[in-house]
């Protein structure tokens, strides 16, 4: 642990975080996957040892996805926090959060769903110039590969399966990714760059690019920026975690609902154009709830105002 009062250069903190993510994320996953395959081999000597097992078996895939979220995000962020405890205040919880603020964030996320769908459709229709056709094909292959894994996980029709999916796809990723991107990276880049808006959007770009799903880049970029502002305005890591959870949980629950209705993954991802007024209303109400939330973060007990953002 660093001694209290000793300043740590942001480059050193960034290197530590990336190192922890690589060492913990890759090594622990490989060890666990190897142990699982070894046990399978002991139980069934005739079975071939292949990592494709984790792609073909849904339960194994879910288990490795859970382990991946913990070892790639939660553990590295926590280790960095502990190693620099008392020097850099990652995961701020300076202010308390009211129930009204949670409700405003929840309302903002739900109201933005129609606009988010429209932006996603535009993003998916993106075409690169002919000279970049090779990159376009690589991006599409990456997207299709991610879609296959997503389909395997979200096509769940049991309540127990829904609960497990909410843990794997909503709770753990929301905690881990917000710890890394908003809690750590936003703080680290903030020690380099004084303009907090530049920091928020820079981290949002990294956040979206990290997912390697390029035809969903812009919707995820907007979400990352929103979570960044939630953190700056609230000065409490719980708010972006909550917003991230609402986004992931709504998609997970929607997929569960459609699956129980007999609608396939491909059908539920087909874009259906809504009347123009739906998107206008979506944008207007989203802005209203975000402004109300922002104003609520400027208040402290007894009606006083906070001057800082």
Tens of pLDDT, residue by residue over 206-215, are 999 988 777 7
pLDDT score recorded for residue 305:
47
Long-range contact pairs involving 262-271 (C-beta distance under 8 Å, separation at least 24): 264/155, 265/147, 265/150, 265/151, 265/154, 265/155, 266/151, 269/147, 271/117, 271/120, 271/121, 271/124
Q: Which of 21, 54, 88 is a domain's end point? A: 88
Same domain, 101 and 240: yes
* Total domains present in the chain: 2
Q: Is 80 exceeded by the pLDDT of residue 37?
A: no
Comparing 150 with 12, the larger pLDDT belongs to: 12
- Percent of the chain exceeding pLDDT 70 equals 89
Q: Of 127-136, 223-232, 275-284, which range is least confident?
A: 127-136
100 with 181, same domain: the answer is yes
Same-domain status, 68 and 97: no
Place 101 in a pLDDT band, splitting at 50, 70 and 90. very high
Q: What is the pLDDT of residue 182?
A: 95
Instruction: Pick the last residue of a domain from 64, 88, 112.
Output: 88
Question: Averaged over 150-179, what is the pLDDT?
Answer: 93
Average pLDDT of every residue of the chain:
85
pTM to 2 decimals? 0.88
Q: 163 and 25 in one domain?
A: no
Final residue of a domain: which of 88, 110, 142? Answer: 88
User: Does residue 13 carry a pLDDT above 90?
Assistant: yes
Residue 46 lies in domain: 1-88
| pLDDT per position as a tens digit, 237-268 | 999 999 999 999 999 999 999 999 888 877 88
Residues in the chain: 309
Q: Which residues contact 303 (CB under 8 A, 6 or more apart)?
A: none
Same domain? For 127 and 55 the reply is: no
Domain co-membership, 82 together with 103? no
Residues 81 and 217 in one domain: no
């Amino acid at each position: 642990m660093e001694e209290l009062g000793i300043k740590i250069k942001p480059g050193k903190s960034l290197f530590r975080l990336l190192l922890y993510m690589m060492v913990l994320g890759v090594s622990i996953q490989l060890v666990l996957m190897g142990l699982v395959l070894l046990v399978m081999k002991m139980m069934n000597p005739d079975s071939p040892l292949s990592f494709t097992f984790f792609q073909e078996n849904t339960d194994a895939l879910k288990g490795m996805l859970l382990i991946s979220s913990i070892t790639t995000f939660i553990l590295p962020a926590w280790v960095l926090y502990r190693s620099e405890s008392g020097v850099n205040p990652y995961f701020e919880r300076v202010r308390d959060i009211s129930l009204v603020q949670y409700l405003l964030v929840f309302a903002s996320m739900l109201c933005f769903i129609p606009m988010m769908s429209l932006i996603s459709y535009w993003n998916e229709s993106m075409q690169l110039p002919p000279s970049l056709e090779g990159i376009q094909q690589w991006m599409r292959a990456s997207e299709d590969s991610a879609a296959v894994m997503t389909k395997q996980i979200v096509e769940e029709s049991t309540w127990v399966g829904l609960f497990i999916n909410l843990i794997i796809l909503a709770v753990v990723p929301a905690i881990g990714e917000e710890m890394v991107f908003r809690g750590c990276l936003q703080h680290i880049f903030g020690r380099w760059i004084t303009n907090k808006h530049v920091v928020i959007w820079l981290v949002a770009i990294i956040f979206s690019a990290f997912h390697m799903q390029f035809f969903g880049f812009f919707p995820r970029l907007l979400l990352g920026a929103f979570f960044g502002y939630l953190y700056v305005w609230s000065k409490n890591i719980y708010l972006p975690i909550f917003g991230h959870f609402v986004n992931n949980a709504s998609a997970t629950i929607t997929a569960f609902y459609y699956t129980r209705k007999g609608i396939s993954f491909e059908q539920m991802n087909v874009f259906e154009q809504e009347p123009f007024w739906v998107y206008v209303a979506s944008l207007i109400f989203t802005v209203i709830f975000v402004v109300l939330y922002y104003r609520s973060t400027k208040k402290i007990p007894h009606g006083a105002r906070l001057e800082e953002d």
